Amino acid sequence: MNKYIFASSNNHKILELSHRVPHLDICSLADIGYHEEIIESGFTLEENARIKAKTIYDKYKIASISDDTGLEVDYLQGQPGVFSARYAGQPSDPKNNIIKLLKEMEGVKNRRAVFRTVICLINNDKEIFFEGVVQGTITDQIYGHNGFGYDPIFIPVGFERTFAQISLAEKNQISHRAKAIQKLVDYLQI
């Protein structure tokens, strides 16, 4: 079995990836004893995913997977986008991010948004990217307790509930990350 390092300290992302591909030998940064912060200094999701995967690949020479996700809101010209995790400032606080976004969207009719995930796989010095996108809308308040990040305020097209109101199993079938992961799985022919 090939070993992969998932270059993230976000336990929610690691759990979601492991749940989706339980037959892969995926190690977290903690599993390999890596505790340094990887600075996401890119200006695109692709750049941030690459920075994280390359940092780990260069250090350990083991296949590395990383992702970056952004919520892109039409009314806000694609913001918060690459800055989604730290939209309300540092340190990153999902609740404050949601509060800031909902305040900026008060009274706005156009609530269209997309969740976009980009995965970067680096193996044998080869870089490959996989993208997953889900169209949806932003609610006017928080609904549900599942998931993480902006899940309580994002309703995917075709649903009447937010990502935070559906089960992890349902979300793993339709989410932006699930779509990107499926493309990764297809590439690896698992």
68 labelled catalytic: yes
State how beta strands 25-27 and 3-6 pair. Answer: parallel
Q: Which residues face 81 on adjacent strands?
A: 71
Residue 155 has phi, psi (to 5 degrees) of -105, 115
Residue identified by tokens 């937010």 is 162
Cis peptide before 22 (omega within 30 of 0): no
Q: Indicate which residue of 25, 67, 68, 140 is catalytic.
A: 68
Sign of the CA dihedral 25, 44, 141, 100?
Answer: positive
Active centre residues (catalytic):
68
